[in-house]
Amino acid sequence: MEFQLKSRMMPAPVNGGFRMEGYWIWCGSVARGEDGRYHMFASRWPKTLPMHPGWLLASEIVRAVSEKPGGPYRFCEVVLPARGAQYWDGRMTHNPHITRQGKKWVLYYTGSTHPFADVSDSETPGTEDARVIAARAGKRIGIAVADRIEGPWERFPEPVLPVRPGRFDNFLTSNPAPLVEEDGSILMLYKYRSYRNPPYTAGPLYGAMKLNAARAKDCRGPYLRTEKEELWPEDAELEDPFIWKEEGAYHMIAKDMHGNLCGEKYGGVYARSENGINWNIARGELAYSRRVLWEDGRRRLMGNMDRPFILFEKGEPVCMFFAVSDGTDSFRDASETWNMAVPLKPDTGQR
């Protein structure tokens, strides 16, 4: 197998993508709207909080626009703000993925809540903060719908992909990667974690991140999940999948958490499937690297290359997007995060 898009990746525009002064920026999903402009849905939270785990407490989904696929994108509005602790997504919205389904725009996302007081600007919550623990355990996948890409957006009282007590995805669901099939049905890969079986030992109460697949006749569900527990070999730990369909087969890129599959920690892995469930990973092949060539001629090692997203126009991929940081060790030493755009050269038909 070979990931053909990697040979079409052009230098990244230095001033492309999406940044916001005073905010951590993450995720990034783009579609061309009715107005001909490009609309990016991304996550942000204030830099008064640490990058991690601040997103669990204060992330909100925003919309930014550009006249060009690669940007730069300008902030327009908050799309899914906090709406109250009583809602499943009342305190945090994250992981946006915009899709067009019939006459509706459908925005998939991760939401969460917690029952405690809001975090203040003077606090620096850590991973053991009760609010963080509750927010992580509350992560669920939901949707919002709109007639136009500018909204208004209708949110719902329940997630479309809740956890299932007693099953393998009983702790959290997040990181939705939906694909709209030709008949309007949905295939979605998603991340989940499981509670560890008692008696609990030292360490977290939940296990490693894993991916599963679910199908639905339309966006509101119900979503029927694959009962394999894991779509990959035991030594594969992947995050942030993006899937598309081409010539009758399913294709996926994702973040390789350990680098044992693609050869680079946090680098990109590619996989192919005939049915969206049984995936063949291209071991030893680096779909994309954290070493990024920029238009100014510099090549930089990015701390992150997360949340990959490919923008298609008329069936052709035109631009890739990644959530990136300026550190060297993921988000742990990052001082800036933003969404990076990587233009793609047209397909010449050569392989």
302-324 pLDDT tens trace: 999 999 999 999 999 999 999 99
Bridge-based pairing of strands 38-46 and 249-256 is unpaired
Domain carrying residue 23: 4-327
- Cα 129 to Cα 53, 60, 117, 119, 125: the distances in Å are 9, 20, 12, 10, 6
**Sign of the torsion angle spanned by Cα atoms 327, 332, 333, 337:** positive
Q: What gap in Å lies between CA 163 and CA 171, rounded to an integer?
A: 6
Indicate the number of domains in the chain.
Answer: 1
Average pLDDT score over residue span 210-222: 96
Least confident of 32-41, 73-82, 114-123, 180-189: 114-123
Query: Edge-to-edge strand order for the sheet containing 60-66?
Result: 23-32, 38-46, 60-66, 74-80
Q: If you average pLDDT over every residue of the chain, what do you get? A: 94
232 close to 212: Cβ distance less than 8 angstroms = no
DSSP 160-191: SB---TTSTT-SEEEEEEEEE-TTS-EEEEEE
Residue 92 in 3-state DSSP?
A: strand
Residue 17 confidence class, pLDDT cut points 50, 70, 90: very high
Q: Is residue 339 part of a domain?
A: no
Residue 137 in 3-state DSSP?
A: helix
The residue ranges of DSSP E strands in 162-278, in sequence order, are 172-180, 186-193, 210-216, 224-225, 238-246, 249-256, 268-273
- Cα 25 to Cα 41, 63, 335: the distances in Å are 11, 12, 11
Q: Is residue 349 part of a domain?
A: no
Count the neighbouring beta carbons within 10 Å of the beta carbon of residue 138: 21
Q: Is residue 333 part of a domain?
A: no
Q: Is residue 285 part of a domain?
A: yes
Q: Is residue 343 part of a domain?
A: no
Give the CATH number of the domain where residue 175 resides.
2.115.10.20
HSE-CB of 56 using CA atoms within 13 angstroms: 22
In this predicted model, what pLDDT tens digit does every residue of 156-177 receive, in sequence order? 999 999 999 999 999 999 999 9
Q: What gap in Å lies between CA 322 and CA 342, rounded to an integer?
A: 8
Q: Is residue 344 part of a domain?
A: no
Least confident of 132-136, 145-149, 332-336: 332-336
Task: Dig out the tokens for 61 from the structure.
Answer: 């989904």
Q: Is residue 85 part of a domain?
A: yes
47: CB partners within 8 A, 6+ apart: 22, 23, 24
236 or 80, higher pLDDT: 80
The owner of tokens 């030594």 is: 235
Q: Is residue 345 part of a domain?
A: no
Q: Percent of the chain scored above 70 by pLDDT? A: 95
Q: What gap in Å lies between CA 339 and CA 333, rounded to an integer?
A: 17
Count the neighbouring beta carbons within 10 Å of the beta carbon of residue 315: 7
Least confident of 223-227, 231-235, 256-260, 288-292: 231-235
125: CB partners within 8 A, 6+ apart: 49, 50, 53, 54, 57, 119, 131, 132
Q: In the prediction, which pLDDT does 351 show?
A: 43
**Over 80: is that where the pLDDT of 202 sits?**
no
- Cα 178 to Cα 184, 221, 262, 291: the distances in Å are 12, 12, 23, 28
